[in-house]
Amino acid sequence: MIINFLVEKESYSRRAAYVIRILARRLGYPYQMINDPAKISSPSITVAYAKEVTLDEISRRAPIVILNSEKIRQLERAEKQIDLFQWKEDAIPVIGGLVDSKILKHWKPSAEGVFNHKKKGSGRIVPFDLYLNIFYHLSRFEEKWRHFTDETQTDHTTSLLSRYDDLKNPLVDVLVKYLDELIRKKIGEEKLTAVRVMNWPGGEQMGVAFSHDVDITREISWPERILKNTKKIYFYLSGMKSYYKQLSEEIEEKDTQAWNFPELINFYTEQDWHATFFFLAKWLEGRHLRYNIRSKKFISLFKQLRQTGHEIALHPSKYAFDKASAYRDEKNKLASVSAVKVQGMRQHYLRAKFPRLWVLAEKAGLLYDASLGYNFQSGFRAGTTFPFQTYDYTEEKLLSLTEFSLHLFEYNLPQSTADDSDSRPVIKKVVEQVAKYGGLFVTLLHPSNYNREPYRSQWDYLLAELNRYKIFVASLAEHLKWRRQRERIQLAWTGTGEQKQRLMINLPEDLEIFSLEIIGGRLSPANKHLESEEIGSGCYRLKTSEQKVSVALISDAR
Task: Quote the Cα angle for 289-292-293, to 5°.
Answer: 140
d(CA 117, CA 60): 10
Angle subtended by helix axes 356-363 and 324-338, to nearest 10: 50
Element housing 161 (H / E) = helix 160-163
Provide the pLDDT for residue 37.
82
Rounded Cα gap, residues 518 and 361, in angstroms: 39
Q: Within its chain, how far is the Cα of 233 from the centroid?
A: 52
Instruction: Please say if the pLDDT value at position 53 is more than 80.
Output: yes
My answer on whether 32 and 93 are in the same domain is yes
- My answer on whether 154 and 78 are in the same domain is yes
Lowest average pLDDT, out of 41-45, 73-77, 237-241, goes to 237-241
Give residue-wise pLDDT tens across range 144-158: 877 655 555 678 888
Domain identity same for 284 and 234 = no
Helix (H, G, I), strand (E, B) or coil at 90: strand
- Each residue of 72-125: pLDDT tens digit? 999 999 999 999 998 888 889 999 999 887 777 778 888 788 888 777 667 899
Same domain membership, residue 335 and residue 296: yes
Mean pLDDT of 13-39: 94
What is residue 156's predicted lDDT score, i.e. its pLDDT? 87
pTM of the model: 0.93
Residue 184 and residue 158 in one domain:
yes
Does residue 18 sit in the same domain as residue 129? yes
Q: Which domain holds residue 23?
A: 2-197
Strands (E), 147-242: 194-197, 206-214
The answer on 32 and 127 residing in a single domain is: yes
**For the chain, how many structural domains are there in total?**
4
- Cβ neighbourhood burial of 51 (10 Å; 0-12, 13-18, 19+): middle
Per-residue confidence band for 238, with pLDDT thresholds at 50, 70 and 90: confident
CATH code of the domain containing 278: 3.20.20.370
Which of residues 426, 451, 482 is at a domain's end? Answer: 482
At CA 236, angle to CA 235 and CA 240, rounded to 5? 55
Residue (of 340, 321, 320) closest to 330 by Cα position: 320
Alpha helices in 345-440 (DSSP H): 356-363, 424-437
User: What is the per-residue burial (b if ≥16 Cβ within 10 Å, else e) of 497-526?
Assistant: eeeebbbebebeeebeebbbbbbbbebeee
Q: Quick one: 139 and 38 in the same domain?
A: yes
pLDDT mean over 239-265: 71
Q: What is the pLDDT of residue 496?
A: 59
Q: What is the pLDDT of residues 291-308, one digit of tens each?
A: 999 999 999 999 999 999
Looking at the fold, whether 283 and 377 belong to one and the same domain comes out as: yes
Range name among 21-25, 217-221, 410-414 with the lowest pLDDT average: 217-221
Say whether both 509 and 392 belong to one domain.
no
Contact 428, 467 (CB under 8 A): no
Position 27 scores a pLDDT of: 98
Clarify whether residues 395 and 471 are in a common domain: yes
Res. 426: pLDDT tops 80: yes
* Confidence (pLDDT) at 158: 83
With 60 as the cut, is the pLDDT of residue 244 above it? no
Tell me the Cα Rg of the chain. 26
Q: What order of strands is seen across the sheet that includes strand 521-523?
A: 490-495, 500-506, 548-555, 521-523
Domain end marker among 453, 482, 511: 482
Q: Looking at 436, 458, 482, which one is the last position of a domain?
A: 482
The model's pLDDT over 350-375, given as tens digits with 9 standing for 90+, comes to 988 999 999 999 999 999 999 999 99
Residues 510 and 462 in one domain: no
pLDDT value, residue 122: 72
Residue 24 pLDDT > 70: yes
Contact between residue 278 and residue 315 where contact means Cβ atoms under 8 Å apart? yes
Angle between helices 324-338 and 296-307 (to 10 degrees): 80
